[in-house]
């Protein structure tokens, strides 16, 4: 297994999180997927969020995934995905990374921030920004070294259902993504178990598939859809373990953009600790 600097940094920060969090008050972690990590997305930018009841919260997460799939496209096989997030009020910021277990698959490190605003008890608006870094990308082979995007979204929650719609624009890939999803959370008694499900569908218009490649940009437009089923179990006030199964399918995907296939099924298992 590869061990890289981002993993060492995240492991150290996760170990320090309990000490830092002694100054924080009680918080509640609310895992949600606005597309992202569980719904075919890397980014914790649209993945786990923490909504603190008081001053701030710190959440560390360590997940194993049998595949890394981002917006319908398989990026890597079996990987570890450590992350660390800080949240205060409606703001959150963090770092998320995908570390493939096998060699010859590139790492990814994402730095993200966002702000959410509760219009009322049901409607939440959110703005996000993410910087994608690929430290092992080989530019001479046309591999993308970095990229950055912004996004806007809205989620409406009622009776356990959470329909949402998000728009993302990547400035280096010159791409637009519109995704709609609906999630449902079903508590299983008062023992800390629940079943969380999500269905999603999206359209991607990517005008520059490989911005660091020599030559004219390659255009690609495709659709993807899929489903997630996760089973979180709350071990304590601050700790949650989660296992999940995920599926994604794409239509009209260019071989240049998805050489590993257009259908993917994968599973995840992880632990999250928040303060």
Rounded to whole angstroms, the Cα distance separating 148 from 160 reads 33
DSSP secondary structure of 174-224: TEEEEEEEEEEEEEETTTTEEEEEEEEEEEEEES-S-TTSSSSPPPEEEEE
> Could you report the per-residue pLDDT of 138-167, keeping only the tens digit for each?
888 888 999 999 999 999 999 989 999 999
Output the pTM of the full model: 0.80
> Could you report the per-residue pLDDT of 213-252, keeping only the tens digit for each?
887 777 889 999 999 999 999 999 899 999 999 999 998 8
Task: Let me know: does 68 contact 74? Beta carbons within 8 Å.
Answer: yes
Res 225: pLDDT: 96
> Could you report the per-residue pLDDT of 69-98, keeping only the tens digit for each?
999 999 999 999 999 999 999 999 999 999
Give the residue ranges of DSSP H helices in the chain: 5-20
CB within 8 Å of 111: residues ≥ 6 apart: 94, 95, 130, 131, 133
CB within 8 Å of 234: residues ≥ 6 apart: 192, 240
């Amino acid at each position: 297994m590869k061990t890289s600097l981002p993993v060492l940094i995240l492991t150290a920060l996760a170990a320090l999180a309990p000490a830092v969090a002694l100054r924080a008050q009680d918080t509640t972690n609310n895992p949600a997927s606005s597309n992202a990590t569980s719904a075919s997305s890397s980014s914790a930018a649209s993945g786990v969020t923490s909504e603190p009841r008081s001053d701030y919260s710190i959440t560390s997460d360590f997940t194993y995934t049998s595949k890394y799939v981002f917006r319908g496209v398989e990026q890597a096989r079996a990987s570890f995905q450590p992350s660390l997030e800080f949240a205060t009020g409606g703001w959150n910021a963090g770092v998320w990374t995908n570390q493939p277990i096998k060699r010859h698959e590139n790492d990814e490190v994402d730095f993200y921030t966002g702000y959410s605003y509760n219009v009322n008890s049901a409607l939440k608006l959110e703005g996000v920004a993410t910087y994608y870094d690929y430290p092992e990308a080989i530019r001479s082979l046309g591999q993308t070294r970095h990229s950055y995007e912004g996004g806007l979204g809205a989620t409406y929650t009622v009776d356990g259902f959470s329909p949402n719609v998000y728009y993302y624009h990547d400035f280096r890939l010159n791409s637009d993504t519109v995704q709609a999803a609906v999630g449902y959370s079903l508590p299983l008694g008062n023992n800390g178990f629940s079943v969380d499900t999500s269905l999603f569908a999206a359209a991607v218009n990517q005008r520059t598939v490989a911005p660091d490649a020599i030559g004219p940009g390659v255009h690609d437009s495709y659709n993807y859809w899929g489903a997630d089923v996760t089973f979180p179990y709350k071990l304590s006030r601050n700790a949650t373990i989660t296992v999940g199964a995920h599926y994604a399918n794409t239509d009209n995907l260019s071989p240049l953009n998805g050489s590993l296939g257009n259908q993917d099924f994968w599973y995840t298992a992880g632990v999250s600790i928040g303060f």
